Homo-oligomer: A and B are copies of this chain.
């Protein structure tokens, strides 16, 4: 795994930025952070793992909510400080708010507007997502 990890330019906190795209639509679903362990676990298990900056620990996406991300492709950028994952998003929901993508706010006519439906109400998934805290990642 040294080959995997050594090419990454970890930031001062030992993290790398991870951009997550839906492998079918290429929609950007979320942006999160990985430490070396999370990247290693992602590659060895085939499911996306991240590092929670607020909880200061590694977590597997969907561990509590069931909204796992099966990884089909992993790319690294030119200077090694960002990766892109192509994933199959289980349940079709990446965001803790119940939206398909975390990027449901569009800037138009001078303000940020929520332009996409909530697929599952946040209070319905809250108990599971409360542990996951994707909004902090």
Q: A17-B31, A28-B28 are in contact. Are A75 and B3 (CB under 8 A)?
A: no
A43 to chain B, nearest CB (A): 7
Q: Are the C-beta atoms of A79 and B136 separated by less than 8 Å?
A: yes
Q: For the complex, what is the distance from the CA of A75 to the CA of B76, rounded to whole Å?
A: 23
The residue of chain B having its C-beta at the shortest distance from the C-beta of A107 within the complex is B74
How many copies are assembled?
Answer: 2
Instruction: Count chain A residues whose beta carbon lies closer than 8 angstroms to a beta carbon of B.
Output: 38
Q: Given A19-B31, A26-B27, list of 19 further CB < 8 A pairs?
A: A3-B112, A4-B107, A4-B110, A4-B112, A7-B105, A25-B26, A26-B26, A73-B106, A75-B105, A75-B106, A75-B107, A76-B112, A77-B102, A78-B95, A78-B96, A78-B97, A78-B105, A79-B135, A82-B102
User: Chain B residues near A30 (CB, 8 Å)?
Assistant: 77
**Contacting residues, chain B, for A107 (C-beta < 8 A):** 4, 43, 74-76
Q: How far apart sit A107 and B99, CA to CA, in the bound complex (Å)?
A: 29
- Residue numbers of A with Cβ under 8 A of B are 3-4, 7, 17, 19, 21, 25-28, 30-31, 43, 73-79, 81-82, 84, 95-97, 99, 102-107, 110-112, 135-136
Which of chain B's residues have a CB closer than 8 A to the CB of A26?
21, 25-27
Could you tell me if A31 and B102 are in contact, using CB atoms closer than 8 angstroms?
no
Contact of A19 (CB < 8 Å), options: B28, B111, B112: B28
